[in-house]
Structure 1
Amino acid sequence: MWLIALAGFAALAVVSYPPSWHVSRGLITIAHEGGHALAAVLTRRRLHGIRLHSDTSGVTLTRGNPRGLGMIVTAGAGYVAPSLLGFGAAWLTAAGYITLLLWGVLALLACMLLMIRNAFGVISLLATGGAVFAVSWFTEPKVQAVVAYAAVWFLLLGGVRPIVELQRKRRRGRAPDSDADQLARLTRIPGTFWVALFLLVSVAALAAGGWLLVDLPAVLPAAFGSG
């Protein structure tokens, strides 16, 4: 249990400290753009490519009805994708499916690699996939578990911060074409509503994922000395 808590505090430190966040934020961008891409495929939009940039931004290019439900779902999937992925990973980790989680991540990265359209994006995915493969193939199960817990905490915590940053940029007029503002134009519902919805989903995923990781139903009785 202390290792799980330590992994959580380590992930929180990485997300909270600006220099480390600037370096690691690209991993959240991979999940963000992957969410757009998956939503586009599921809504039968044509996926033309994904670009990842060195400033940790990214773009997913799709083609189809510019105002339909598919476009709304695709635009709305990005900011919640890291948190939802983190929740799914928390469920697998808590259930003991560490190896399945690692190989599932590798499969998702491989699928995403096929759609990358710039050199930096290719390098980013190969580096990330190489690290995951090394952990899954060359380390012991205990090491895999620690890495998995840290990665899940990072996704859950790291999924919240970009949403807060988004709203700050919107207040300063620095994000006129953000996902939230695109959704506002598509639905005529204010962008602030969409930011709040993104934040609600991410915080809920963090709470639920944390509950699974820490196994609170078992921890609380033990902490109070009851059955």
Structure 2
Amino acid sequence: MSTLTQWAPAVLALVLVASPGIWRFSRNTITIAHEGGHALVALLTGRRLEGIKLNADTSGVTVSRGRPTGLAVVLMYVAGYVTPSLLGLGAAALVTAEQVRPLLWATVVLLAGMLIMIRNLFGVLSVVLTGAVMFAVSWYATAEWQAAFALFVAWFLLLGGVRPVGELQSRRLRGRAPHSDADQLARITRVPGLLWVLLFAVVTIGALLLGGRMLLPL
């Protein structure tokens, strides 16, 4: 891999996350991962998943039925903010192992599964577009460009997983997130919402450091 294709994905990912104007649009991809995390954990813990909505303002909601308290619902709420970073860490591991095409195809399969549960037009368009890009790269791009794109995906998920946690706490301080995942967890567990935000921060920053350490030697 050339120096350009080695470093350009990381720089591009950083620009998409750090630039306020661009982040308003690129954040939708992180929201897909966020809501997908809620949905997957809901299914794995035996809750009944009823649907997912992805909104144009980059917010989203996953509706499931089950007990309003207990370990299952706690895990479901925790999953949202940490899923993009954990997916980025997994992507970094696959890229390091030179399993680029399996990474791309696994992403397409996960998006296809998520599409079944989307309940609004914007959400459908977001998931279909993201899946189409993944499919096109896996099917038409050369091996070098596939590797560069996989690097970008890993970096974007790792970097993009951190920023929403800071945004969450900023909204909480201004009283604009009374129903956030952290506050829902606080009501269920009686553990302060700030501690849940700190947990999200530890996981997302830890994943970035670990994933970055895996990817930088490449």
Question: For the superposition of Structure 1 and Structure 2, which TM-score range results when normalised by the shorter chain?
Answer: over 0.9
Q: Is the 8 Å Cα contact of residues 4 and 213 (structure 1) preserved in structure 2? A: no
Is 1:36–2:50 an aligned residue pair? no
Match of residue 168 from structure 2: 166
Shift of 1:5: 2.6
TM-score (norm 2): 0.97
Shift of 1:205: 0.4
Distance in 2 between residues matched to 1:151 and 1:21, nearest whole Å: 15
Match of residue 152 from structure 2: 150
Shift of 1:14: 1.2
Q: How does 1:1-227 map to 2 (within 5 A)?
A: 2=3, 3-215=5-217
2:20 maps to amino acid = P
- Number of equivalent positions: 216
Q: Which has the larger radius of gyration?
A: 1
2:136 maps to amino acid = A
1:174 maps to amino acid = R
Distance in 2 between residues matched to 1:71 and 1:130, nearest whole Å: 32
Shift of 1:6: 2.6
2:116 maps to amino acid = L
2:34 maps to amino acid = H
Match of residue 225 from structure 1: none
Structure 1 unpaired stretches of 5+: 220-227
Structure 1 SS opposite 2:195: helix
Q: Is the 8 Å Cα contact of residues 28 and 82 (structure 1) preserved in structure 2? A: yes
Deviations 1:67-112 (A, max 9, x none): 1110000011000000000000100011000000000000000100
Structure 2 unpaired stretches of 5+: none
1:66 maps to amino acid = P
TM-score (norm 1): 0.93
Shift of 1:4: 2.6
Match of residue 224 from structure 1: none
Deviations 1:17-40 (A, max 9, x none): 011111100000000000000110
Structure 1 SS opposite 2:62: strand
Deviations 1:126-156 (A, max 9, x none): 1111111111101101011111101110000
Shift of 1:211: 1.1
1:149 maps to amino acid = L
Deviations 1:22-64 (A, max 9, x none): 1100000000000000110111111000000111110000000
Q: Is the 8 Å Cα contact of residues 30 and 52 (structure 1) preserved in structure 2? A: yes
